[in-house]
Amino acid sequence: MTSELRVDKIKPVDGVSTDSGNNRYGGGIIQVVQSYGNGAETQTSSQSYVATGTAATITPKFSTSKIMVEVMGGTCAPSQDQGMNVSVYRSINGGSFTALHGVSGRPSNSLWRVYCNSGRVQMGCAIKVLDAPATTNSVEYKVYIASIGGNNCQFNNHFYDHASIILTEHSA
């Protein structure tokens, strides 16, 4: 026997808590989108954020939904007293990209950072952040990087690396 349960939203019995301060809440999973970076390395010495090729788009079913954004990728940061910031930006319905860092309760400069006290460093990067875009229009999330100190830094820094981004819509 095969059974199938179809619903529009799943909410906890006591309801979904309201966001407050540094706390963000979400309920049941509505949809999941995964995308791999374009396989190309992004290099920059800019201390301002520049876009990488790692991006994914989701169209929320409800304007009250929360989107869990998960990024995994490889980084390479420059020599002594240098480093890099990694963050996620979003664009709603093809509009301008805005940073997810610097928003209430989140770090002001980046969502992930590496700093080198001596020599170059290569390491994995993992970011997980819950967003509330408040729309049912398409939302594109993209990884951005910036150099700390002005030397060259890299994201998706090896031809074997394929950074990924996973977007999970949660009911709220």
Which of 158, 119, 140, 170 lies closest to 54, judged by CA?
140
Burial class (CB in 10 A: 0-12, 13-18, 19+), 33: middle
Residue 9: the pLDDT is 63
Domain range summary for the chain, segments of one domain joined by +: 37-170
What pLDDT, on the 0 to 100 scale, is given for residue 153?
A: 86
Rounded Cα distance, 50 and 52, in Å: 7
pLDDT of residue 88: 95
Q: What is the arithmetic mean of pLDDT over 64-70?
A: 94
- Phi, psi dihedral angles at 38 (to 5 degrees): -75, 5
Cα 82 from Cα 117, distance rounded (Å): 8
What fold does the segment set 37-170 form as a domain? Jelly Rolls (2.60.120)
Total-model pTM: 0.84
Reported as a single tens digit per residue, the pLDDT across 104-161 is 666 778 888 887 777 777 778 889 999 999 999 999 999 999 998 888 888 886 666 6
What local confidence, expressed as pLDDT, does residue 167 receive?
A: 97
Torsion-angle region of 100 (φ positive above 0: left; ψ -120 to 50: alpha; else: beta): alpha
Return the closest-CA partner of residue 87 out of 118, 33, 127, 58. Answer: 127
As a whole number of Å, the end-to-end CA separation of the chain is: 33
Q: Report the pLDDT value the prediction gives residue 161, as an integer from 0 to 100.
A: 67
Residue 108: predicted pLDDT: 74
According to the model, what pLDDT value does residue 93 have?
97
Average pLDDT, the chain: 84
What local confidence, expressed as pLDDT, does residue 14 receive? Answer: 61
Query: Residues in the chain, how many?
Result: 172
pLDDT the model gives residue 10: 64
DSSP state of 20: B
